[in-house]
Amino acid sequence: MSKPHAKFIIIGAGLSGLTTAYELLKQGEENFLILEGRKRIGGRIRTKDNIDLGATWFQGYHSNLMQLVDDLSLEKFDQYSAGKSVLIYNTMAPPHIFESDPNTPSANRIAGGSIALINALSQSLKEKIILNTTVTDVSEATDSITIDTDRGQFYCEKVIVTLPPRIAAQISYTPELSEPLIDAMKKTHTWMSNAIKVGITYQSAFWRDQGLSGTVIGQASPVIELYDHADETQSTYSLMGFVNEALRDESSESRKERILGYLEKHLGSQVREYLNYHEKDWSQDKYTAGELKPIYRAPQYGNALFQDFYMDGKVLFSGAETSPVYGGYMEGAVYSGLNSAQKLLNYQSLNNQ
């Protein structure tokens, strides 16, 4: 039985990896495979019951992502922010009530949730994606790369590693990568790796009826940020935000009660009349947080060391954290994906001359 071979292999079926694959296919290159450790595609984009538990917002100046959304004929809509918002400076003082400037450009969301972007990108790639396949070793031969996984070996001419650098550093490389590169990989914060997100769905947007925007900000509170998360059709009404990491070690029941009690205090008793309640602790996701403690203070992305090929031009690192443009954002993931595809196509063009 012959071993799986492709001209290019992309490790990771998140936004960056799928963008690379989509662009390759768009430019006429079909000889590639995508290996994904999870049982699903999307990476840190995760939508459940219309709630984005991972990547959510983007801005009008995120030009590469905006163009991709348009290319895929996806709809975007503005983040709801009308009404009074709540800011808690400390628990001993009354909350500060404020309203957002209506002239300030709103953040955008994707109709159908961020997963709609992943689904659209992967529509023409399904036969090329291999799930439940964790890469353990990447080894260079004279004219090829051998990729060892928990499901056997794969061979290719070039490999694009789109995993977060700290996760990519857990792969064994032969020959070994340089010490400065490994050090940079381990020190690069993985976006979302320390986050706990919460999403709660309701029959109606009761907070809007009270003249509230649904925005509640309190850095020392059980929920440090909360926002209106209704869908684009105004048929599903949710609140979504980030949980204080100090609640991570509490039981799920205790954490949930503290969250609901806090929101009830600022939004009213209807907070407890929910239809669905979801939490996602990304620090528990081995393909996001890995084995190393998350680093999240003033993260820096786009290290110049990630821009070059390694292993005699056969290995390229990509992904949101490697991008020198809006690193850590969806825009950074798309930029790096497009950039990687172009580097591969340039390589192929030179090879054919």
In whole angstroms, what is the distance from residue 83 CA to residue 321 CA? 35
Integer angstrom CA distances of residue 145 from 111, 178, 341: 40, 18, 18
Q: Which of 29, 195, 52 is nearest to 111 (CA)?
A: 52
Task: Classify domain 5-47+116-191+288-352 at the CATH topology level.
Answer: FAD/NAD(P)-binding domain (3.50.50)
Predicted confidence at residue 34, as pLDDT, reads 98
Task: Retrieve residue 86's tokens.
Answer: 């709540």
Q: Is the pLDDT of residue 294 over 80?
A: no
The domain spans of the chain are 5-47+116-191+288-352, 77-110+194-284
pTM: 0.95
Q: Is the pLDDT of residue 100 over 90?
A: no
Q: Is the pLDDT of residue 8 over 60?
A: yes
150 DSSP assignment: B
- Kindly report, residue by residue over 212-238, the tens digit of the pLDDT: 999 999 988 999 999 999 999 989 999
In whole angstroms, what is the distance from residue 80 CA to residue 343 CA? 39
**DSSP states along 51-105:** EESS---B-TT-HHHHHHHHHTT--EEEPP--SEEEE-S-TTSPPEEEE--TTSP
Q: What is the mean pLDDT of the chain?
A: 94
Predicted confidence at residue 316, as pLDDT, reads 97
Residue whose entry in the numeric block shows the structure tokens 């490999």: 159
Task: Classify domain 77-110+194-284 at the CATH topology level.
Answer: Polyamine Oxidase; Chain A, domain 2 (3.90.660)
In whole angstroms, what is the distance from residue 299 CA to residue 211 CA? 36
Phi and psi based region of residue 319 (left: phi greater than 0; alpha: psi -120 to 50; beta: remaining):
left
Predicted confidence at residue 27, as pLDDT, reads 95
Q: Is 168:43 a contact under the CB 8 Å cutoff?
A: no
Contacts of 272 by beta carbon, 8 Å cutoff, 6+ apart:
260, 264
Handedness of CA 290, 295, 301, 306 (dihedral sign): negative
Predicted confidence at residue 350, as pLDDT, reads 61
**DSSP states along 205-249:** -HHHHTTEEEEEE-TTSSEEEEEE---TTS-SEEEEEEE-GGGTT
Predicted confidence at residue 230, as pLDDT, reads 97
